[in-house]
Chain A
C-alpha cells in the first residue's frame, strides 16, 4: 500500500520542454506539498495546498505551476524547462495541524539536458 506516490520516477528531457509530475496520497490528508532537493541535498518547500487551496507559495519561478484537482492529488507542471531545474522533486502530505507529520513520496528525479 503506497501512501504517497509520484509519477514518473525519472524524467529526462530537453531544455525548453514542458513537463508534469503527478502526486497522489491515500492517507486521507488535507494538505499536500512540493519540495525541491538540489544536488547538494538541500530540501526546500515550493508549494503547499490545503483542501485544494494554495497556502504556501515560496519564491519559485512562475514557470512552475501546481494544480490540485482534489485533496488527494497535487500535480506540478513546469514550463520552459531550464538546466537549473534539474533536481529531485518530492511530494508530501499531512493533516494541516502543526504537529502532524509530513509523509513523503519516493521522489521524481528530473534531469534537464
Chain B
C-alpha cells in the first residue's frame, strides 16, 4: 500500500527566506504525487502535482516541488516565504496501478515569522 512520510511537525521560517517542506513516499509502482495546503477552518487547496516528465514541477502561489525517484522524495519549496504562507501542508501519493486512493502524510504546519 502506498504511504507518505512528512518527518517534521512544524517548519518555522523567517519571511523572505526560502521555505522547504519535506516529503518522502512509498509505492509499489510509479507514483502520482500531490501537494495540498489547508488554511485554518478551510478545505484543502491543490498546489501542484507530479505525474510524469520534468522532475521540477511549478504550482500555485510561487510554490514548486522536485521529484527525486532515487530518494523517493517530493519536497515542496518556495524561494521567498510570505507570512500568508503560514498554513498546514499535506503531501499525498497514489499508486499508478491502484484505484484512486490517495494516501496523505500527517501534514506539516508552516509558520512564517514576520
Contact = CB atoms under 8 A, between A and B. Distances in A.
A106 B102 contact: no
Given A43-B90, A98-B32, A99-B49, A48 B44 contact: no
A56 B99 contact: yes
A33 to B, nearest CB: 8
Interface size class of A (residues with CB under 8 A): 20 to 34
A34 interface: no
B23 to A, nearest CB: 14
Nearest to A4: B43
Contacts of B74: none
Contact of A98 (B96, B104, B106): B96
Given A90-B44, A98-B32, A45 B101 contact: yes
A41 B88 contact: yes
Nearest to B88: A41
Interface in B39-78: 41-46, 49, 51-52
A65 to B, nearest CB: 20
B34 interface: yes
Given A104-B44, A106-B42, A41 B102 contact: no
A56 to B, nearest CB: 6
A94 B43 contact: no
Interface string B82-112: 0000001010001110111110101100000
Interface of A: 4, 31, 33, 40-45, 48, 50, 55-56, 90, 92, 94, 96, 98-107, 109
Given A41-B88, A105-B43, 10 more contacts: A44-B104, A45-B102, A48-B100, A55-B99, A98-B98, A98-B100, A99-B52, A106-B43, A107-B41, A107-B42
